Structure 1
Amino acid sequence: MRLAIPSVIRPRSLMGQMLLAVAAALLLVQGIGALLVYRAQREGYEAGMSNAVAFKLIAETRGRGALGRMLRGNDRDRDRAPFGGPPLRGFPLELSEGSPLRTGEKRDADMEERLQHTLAEQDFPASQIVVVHRTVGRDAFARTHTYKRAAHGRLEGPEVSEMMDDHLLVVGVKQPGKTSWMVARVRSPRAFNVMIRPLIVQTVIIYLVLVGAVALILRRITRPLAALTRRVEQFAVSPGSAGQLDPSGPDDMQRLIVAHNAMEARIVAMLDEKDVMLGAIGHDLKTPLAALRVRIESVEDDTERGRMAATIEDIVRTLDDILSLARVGRPSDPRERTELSALVASVVEEYEDMGEPVDLGDTQRTVLELRSTWLRRALRNLIDNALRYGGGARVGLEKDGDHAVIRIEDDGPGIPDDEIEAMTNPFVRGDPSRNKATGGAGLGLALARAIADQHGGALVLANRLSPTGEVEGLTVRLELPLS
């Protein structure tokens, strides 16, 4: 069963989640341990109280030797506990005609049973036992006795005030064949007040020490892991950037960092080899294409010469797209602070100057750090697709949450829903029935998506539907993060 934790307090980091789990487990264990210790101490405390009361009853009624004289002596000696239990800050026995139980008071059944057993072991018969808890101030006999002690100078005024709030255990015992009750009183702090505070302090100290130690261990583990995460994120944005991590942390973490460094070095070497290979391919292909372009000038048939030139231009354009798509992941030009709305407007103006049906809609002033050359390339590819398949394009710029969104809309037939995701893959074209006259190698959307990824954004394609559910065109969203 999965433990449900409110999302407000659920940490997102590995260290936070592990620390929360360990802290919760420690809190549970400490709580159970503190409860068991408290119960054991409370039982010992109550046993000591029971023994003290039993001794007081037996000694007061039977004591003829030293103990009897001690208990019948001065109050200071009477306050000593002969059995090592709670202090007998006691009062003399009271003979009462009735039970000490008052209306509304609750009897302590556990203490009565314990006291019954203790007195029986000492051959002290008791037909009835009543045990209640009060404060000194609420017991008339104890209150009067306390004031008498103060009057004789045995207590100071502040001591009397404090004693009035002390806990008082009142025990009434009625022996068989007798009508009067023997009432014993023992003053002491409640077990809760005596034991719960040290337990709480002890539990909190142990808990803080253990959680602190676990936090230090987790920090030693998660710090190199966080550094590795940042390095991977940096490498994903800019492969080949300098600064491999130094192994740190536990042995397992060091091995992971060493393995990552080796993998990163191998990836960088492969990317370098790819760039060299692509440069060679581009040079080796463009050179003969340029020579062919010169040679076709000698063809006398203008129509045939135009077809040859168009074919060569298509090959060159496709080659440029392939090389651009291969290099987009490792751009050499740095990002520059650019006003995005001005960039979008300038690209739309280029098409307007050529007489193309491209309209600029609403835009919002947005300043971002980006690679303007690459972004212009992406916008041109998207607008070209809208012109090719929809006969026109509408371009707008808006802010949506923490993203700037360039929206390109057309009125074409759209894309089948099951093909939208694949359309951004290289060399994938739309259905030929959309426009049989269209050319291209299917690299425009793939290059635009790669440029969006390069900037940490995304390219989203969606069909625009009419109220009746018919496709009215395609909407392309080029999303760029604001920060």
Structure 2
Amino acid sequence: MLLSVALALLVAQAISAVLQYREAEQRREMIAANSLAFQLVTEPRFDFRRPAKHNPEKGKRGSWQRLRVERTAENPLQPGEVRETQREELLRTILLDQGINPAKLVVVTRHVSDDNYVMSQLDGREQTEWGEGRMLVAGLLRPGESEWTVARMAIFNREPNQLGALIGQTLLLYVVLVGGLALLLRRITRPLAALTRRVEHFAATREIDGQIEPTGPDDTRRLIMALNLMESRIAALLDEKDVMLGAIGHDLKTPLAALRVRIESVEDAGERAKMAASIEDLSRSLDDILSLARVGRPSDPLEKTDLSALLASVVEEYEDMGEPVELGATQRLAMALRATWLRRALRNLIGNALRYGERARVSLTRQGNEAVITIEDDGPGIPEGDIARLMEPFARGESSRNRETGGAGLGLTLARAIAEQHGGTISLRNRNAAVGKPAGLIAELRLPLD
């Protein structure tokens, strides 16, 4: 906002400077035209003044030269000079108002040193000083006359005070307007900055402690009060959710444990195995649901962990079980994370690769400021239109939900939630088939290192 106001003020001052400059130019032109017209009409003695910058004594205006309006039979336009038609038209208009209709009218700008009439009136020293200046020369030939009336007027350098005054005015406006606006914005944005930090802290920790006191303008205070109230309600809802989830977990897992005991009395081994598998599926689905509900409010703190070592330990678990999981290239990367949750995310991604792609290849690289864990499989991949859908809860690539094809469809959703808990992302893409290398799916887990 400060930059916008400063830019707008600069543009306004530039427009003002242009308008003032044009007005000053028009005023100077009118003064010059009236002065020349006065001389041409009345033929007085006039003052041709030396510029003040040549005055050796500070505070004096310089010497004066008394010159008469020249009467000459020669055309005042010298060879190589260009007539100034706009000034001629302005001068003609003034003369017509005075009842004089010029037969011929000439206006040119000329260096003093090029004007023989003026130079003949000056001594050697004054010729050197005056020769640096310029003047307007106006020649009038009246109807029926053979002699020109020639008037002259010195052109002095424009006063620099106008530019200095404009710069001073601009600086004063900047100090008053931009400075006042900066103080006002600081008063407004300081509580907003504190509010932003508070929202970021609450989003990361869900802690109700540390709410800020309402300060600043009335609207800002009301916003802070509303946010504090909203945080209190959210914290209360989360606490209720944790209590409810604990009750659900206890009330559902206890009957499932009892069912595991009771199925031992079933004599048919096949039926007993089916019942045990169903109970196991229910337990896994219940664990996934409870974990997904709790992932947004973790209780364990972030700890500095070697990511490559954590990844190697997860792969080793699958190798001990005889699963075809291969650990590829890794880099030693240390970062703050919640190891238990990240293990859960890695197991879900590797489990999906084994379930649908027969084998899994895991690697860890650093790309810029991110740690990238890549998990590849040799399965059929996923249709491009289904990739985004499969990241949603309870979405699966197959319609069945048996032991061979997976559970309730919460694995990718839970892995994505865990990645977001660490400030990262998960993406899926299909790998194109190449010579000697089948098609498959590539899952990338990206985690920020800072």
| TM-score, reference length from structure 2 | 0.83
Deviation at 1:131, TM superposition (A): 1.9
Q: Distance in 1 between matches of 2:259 and 2:65?
A: 120
Q: What residue is the counterpart of 2:31 in the other structure?
A: 48
Q: Give the letter aligned to residue 22 of structure 2.
A: R
Contact kept in structure 2, 1:389 and 1:434, CA below 8 Å: no
Shift of 1:406: 0.7
The aligned residue for residue 57 of structure 2 is none
Cα offset, 1:350, TM superposition: 1.6
2:347 aligned with 1:380, yes or no? yes
CA RMSD of aligned residues (A): 3.5
Query: Which stretch of the first structure deviates more once superposed, 193-202 or 354-363?
Result: 193-202
Among 19, 32, 51, the alignment partner of 1:36 is 19
Alignment partners' CA distance in 1, 2:408 and 2:148: 110
Structure 1 equivalent of residue 56 of structure 2: none
Aligned partner letter, 2:200: E
Q: Distance in 2 between matches of 1:320 and 1:75?
A: 102
CA contact (8 A) 1:422 1:428 kept: yes
Secondary structure of residue in 2 paired with 1:36: helix
Cα distance, 1:41–1:208 mapped onto 2, change above 3 Å: farther
User: Residues 293-335 of structure 1, C-alpha deviation per residue, up to 9 Å, x if partnerless?
Assistant: 4555566666655555444433333222222111111112221
Residues 1:305 and 1:413: Cα distance change in structure 2 (over 3 Å): same
Asked whether the equivalents of residues 41 and 195 of structure 1 are also in contact (C-alpha less than 8 Å), the reply is no
Q: Which moved more, 1:257-266 or 1:198-207?
A: 198-207
Q: Which runs of 5+ in 1 are unaligned?
A: 1-14, 77-86, 152-159
Aligned to 2:320: 353
Query: Whole-Å Cα distance in 1 between the matches of residues 400 and 274 of structure 2?
Result: 24
* Inter-partner Cα distance in structure 1 for 2:294 and 2:66: 97
CA contact (8 A) 2:277 2:403 kept: no
Provide the residue aligned with 2:85 in structure 1. 109
Specify the alignment match of 2:146 in structure 1.
179
Pair 434,46 (structure 1): closer, same or farther in 2 beyond 3 Å: same
Aligned mate of 1:341, from 279, 297, 308: 308
Q: Which amino acid aligns with 1:37?
A: Q
Out of 99, 104, 111, which is 1:128 matched to?
104
Aligned to 2:136: 169
The one-letter code of the counterpart of 1:261 is: N
1: CA distance between counterparts of 2:138 and 2:197? Answer: 72
Indicate how the Cα distance of structure 1 residues 296 and 88 shifts in structure 2: closer, same or farther if over 3 A, else same: farther
CA distance in 1, matches of 2:121, 2:253: 116
Contact 2:398 2:405 in 1 (8 A): no
Letter matched to residue 280 of structure 1: A
**Compared CA separation, residues 147 and 248, structure 1 to 2 (3 A):** farther
Aligned to 2:59: none
In structure 2, C-alpha distance between the alignment counterparts of 1:415 and 1:371, rounded to whole Å: 30
The residue aligned with 2:244 is: 277
The 5-angstrom pairing of residues 88-237 of structure 1 reads 92=67, 93-123=69-99, 126-142=102-118, 145=121, 147-148=123-124, 150=126, 161=129, 164-190=131-157, 195=162, 198-199=165-166, 202-203=169-170, 205-206=172-173, 209-237=176-204
Kept after mapping to 2: 8 A contact 1:172/1:184: yes
- Counterpart CA distance in 2 for 1:179 and 1:194 is 45
Higher mean Cα deviation, 331-340 or 223-232? 223-232
1:253-304: per-residue Cα shift (whole Å, max 9, x none)?
Answer: 3333332222222112111111121122222333343444455556666665
Shift of 1:102: 3.4
1:381 Cα deviation from its structure 2 partner = 0.9
Aligned residue identity for 2:108: V
* Structure 2 runs not aligned, ≥5 long: 51-61
Q: In the alignment, what sits opposite 1:327? A: 294
Native 8 Å contact 2:112 2:135 kept in 1? yes
The question of whether the paired residues in 2 share the 8 Å contact of 1:134 and 1:169 is answered with yes
- Figure out how many residues of one structure are paired with residues of the other and give that number: 437
SS of alignment partner, residue 36 of structure 2: helix
| Counterpart residue identity of residue 237, structure 1 | A
Counterpart Cα distance in 1 of 2:317 and 2:373 = 17
Partner Cα distance (2:114, 2:336) in 1: 79
The counterpart of 2:417, out of the listed 450, 462, 465, is 450
Compute the displacement of 1:338 (Å): 2.0
For the residue of structure 2 that corresponds to 1:420, the secondary structure is helix
1:24 deviation in Å?
A: 4.5
Supply the AA of the counterpart residue of 1:109: T
Going from structure 1 to structure 2, the CA distance change for 1:338 and 1:91 (only over 3 Å counts) comes to farther
- Closer, same or farther: CA 208–88 of 1 in aligned 2, 3 Å: farther
Q: Are 1:473 and 2:449 an aligned pair?
A: no
The CA distance in 1 between the partners of 2:305 and 2:122, in whole Å, is 88
Q: Which residue is equivalent to 2:225?
A: 258
Matched, 1:427 2:394: yes
CA contact (8 A) 2:281 2:403 kept: no
CA contact (8 A) 2:326 2:360 kept: yes
Percentage of identical aligned residues? 56
Match of 1:84 in 2: none
Q: Secondary structure at the match of 2:109?
A: strand
Quote how far apart the aligned CAs of 1:409 are: 0.8
CA drift of 1:208 comes to 6.4
Stretch moving more, 251-260 or 217-226: 217-226
* 1:188, distance to aligned residue in structure 2 (A): 3.5
* C-alpha contact 2:108 2:138 (8 A) present in aligned 1: yes
Q: Contact (CA 8 Å) 1:90, 1:187: kept in 2 or not?
A: no
Aligned equivalents of 2:152 and 2:15: distance in 1?
34
Partner Cα distance (1:290, 1:343) in 2: 31
Distance 1:438 1:125, change over 3 A: closer
Residue 406 of structure 1: aligned partner: 373
1:318 partner letter? S
Cα gap change, 1:89 to 1:167, in 2 (>3 Å)? farther
User: In the alignment, is the contact (CA less than 8 A) between 1:131 and 1:170 conserved in 2?
Assistant: yes
Deviation at 1:34, TM superposition (A): 3.1
2:401–2:408 contact (8 Å) kept in structure 1? no
